[in-house]
Amino acid sequence: MKANIREQNKLVLALRNKDAYPHQVYSPKIKIYETHISWIFLTGLYAYKIKKEVKFGKILDFSTLYLRRKFCQKEIQVNKTLCGDMYKGIVKLVSRNGNIRIVDLQTKGKPLEYGVKMLEIPQKFRMDYLIKADKLSLKTIDGLTKILVKFHSSTRTNARIKNYGLPNFLKKKIDENFQTFVKLNNELAAYDLEKIHKIYKRLISFLPNNKTLFYKRIRQGKIREIHGDLYLGNIFIVNKRCYLYDRIEFNDSLRYADVIEDVAHLSMDLDYNISWIFLTGLYAYKIKKEVKFGKILDFSTLYLRRKFCQKEIQVNKTLCGDMYKGIVKLVSRNGNIRIVDLQTKDKPGPYSCRYWSLFLQTEIL
């Protein structure tokens, strides 16, 4: 496999050349983004995704050219519903007189690799960038909500898919997530590992204590095909049109879940992008921005920001215990800003939630 990976790297280098593309390249140079499973090439008109020759146990297998073509087709198929004509089709890479060229599948030539061709939408229209630029309207948020409701009410569900909402399956997912987290953070201090273990035990105990809720969600038909990777960076909004792209294609079971997972992922990412978070090494502080998104979210007054700081602490107590330390306020003293407890006699500026720093490290991961 290492030899083939080297060959893939040669193809990646070749795709830096504008002559490799079957159309005019409008960007000054080809922009390349790399993830752990693919390369994305931006040309100004179209974007191309090449899957890496990798295999991650039973989760993902792109180890052969046949499988990479299969999952290119699958990616186009699963994204049609939420993206319309954004996904254009499969292309192949061939060699012409010693030069690499991207061509349609119908064009003669031995395929060296396959890729997904997409309409390139400028990055400035990504939802996370729109929020930072304060260019997200309330109507757009409401429109996005309606798209999700319609999508979740129409996707596939059956007896097999519903099994993915059972408590014993959810325990397996929790186990895998925590095992992966510890592997990625093998230098964590014993003190931090102890706190992680406490969180793990609370999550595990949540399952048997809420069996009634999980079985109710199954009966209500809430376990079905979802997006699976829905966060602000996977949403483009152009002229009131929403593209919820990059659904998980490489493993069907990762798209079988409670619809609340899509909502939760998007909500957490939205929360992260509408707050400032400060890490001190011992504690972390989150200050909510003065924003309002229709009926979905309202942090427009100091009173409401304090109210939702308190609410955030309240709803997280069950699973996080003493990780949430309480509300603090920011005050001005001799022209300097200071963080103090609520009991301190000073006129409050912004309010903030205070956490153990570990919480924000896991949230960022």
Asked if residue 261 belongs to a domain, the reply is: no
Give pLDDT < 50 ranges for the chain. 355-365
Q: Which of 120, 148, 175 is the last residue of a domain?
A: 120
Structural domain includes residue 306: yes
Q: What is the pLDDT of residues 122-147, one digit of tens each?
A: 999 999 999 888 788 778 888 899 99
d(CA 103, CA 294) in angstroms, rounded, equals: 46
Q: What is the pLDDT of residue 284?
A: 86
Identify the pLDDT of residue 184: 60
Which residue, 120, 142, 167, sits at the end of a domain? 120
Q: Whole-angstrom Cα distance, residue 40 to residue 22?
A: 16
Q: Indicate the residue among 66, 97, 120 that finishes a domain.
A: 120
- Percentage, residues of the chain above pLDDT 70: 90
The count of structural domains within the chain is: 2
285 is a domain residue: yes
Please indicate, yes or no, if residue 150 is contained in any of the structural domains.
no
The amino acid that residue 213 corresponds to is L
The answer to the question of residue 338 being in a domain is yes
- pLDDT at position 316: 85
Residue at 249 is within a domain: no
pLDDT at 364: 31
Distance CA 110, CA 71 (A): 19
For 359, counting Cβ atoms within 10 Å of its Cβ (0-12 exposed, 13-18 middle, 19+ buried), the class is buried
What's the pLDDT score for residue 236? 97
Q: What is the pLDDT of residue 361?
A: 34
Does a structural domain hold residue 221?
no
3-state DSSP of the chain: CHHHHHHHHHHHHHCCCHHHCCCCCCCCCCEEEECCCEEEEECCCEEEEEECCCEECCCEECCCHHHHHHHHHHHHHHHHHHHHHHEEEEEEEEEECCEEEEEECCCCCCCCEEEEEEECCCHHHEHHHHHHCCCCCHHHHHHHHHHHHHHHHHCCCCHHHHHHHCHHHHHHHHHHHHHHHHHHCCCCCHHHHHHHHHHHHHHHHHHHHCHHHHHHHHHCCCEEECCCCCCHHHEEEECCEEEECCCCCCCHHHHEEECHHHHHHHHHHHHHHCEEEEECCCEEEEEECCCEECCCEECCCHHHHHHHHHHHHHHHHHHHHHHEEEEEEEEEECCEEEEEECCCCCCCCCEEEEEEHHHHHHHHC
pTM of the model: 0.79
* Domain of 334, in residue numbers: 274-365
Q: What is the pLDDT of residue 365?
A: 26
Q: Rounded to an integer, what is the distance from CA 201 to the centroid of its chain?
A: 25
For residue range 2-16, list pLDDT tens digits in order. Answer: 557 788 999 999 999
Whether 216 is in a domain gets the answer no
Distance CA(62)–CA(163), nearest Å, equals 26
Q: What is the pLDDT of residue 359?
A: 35
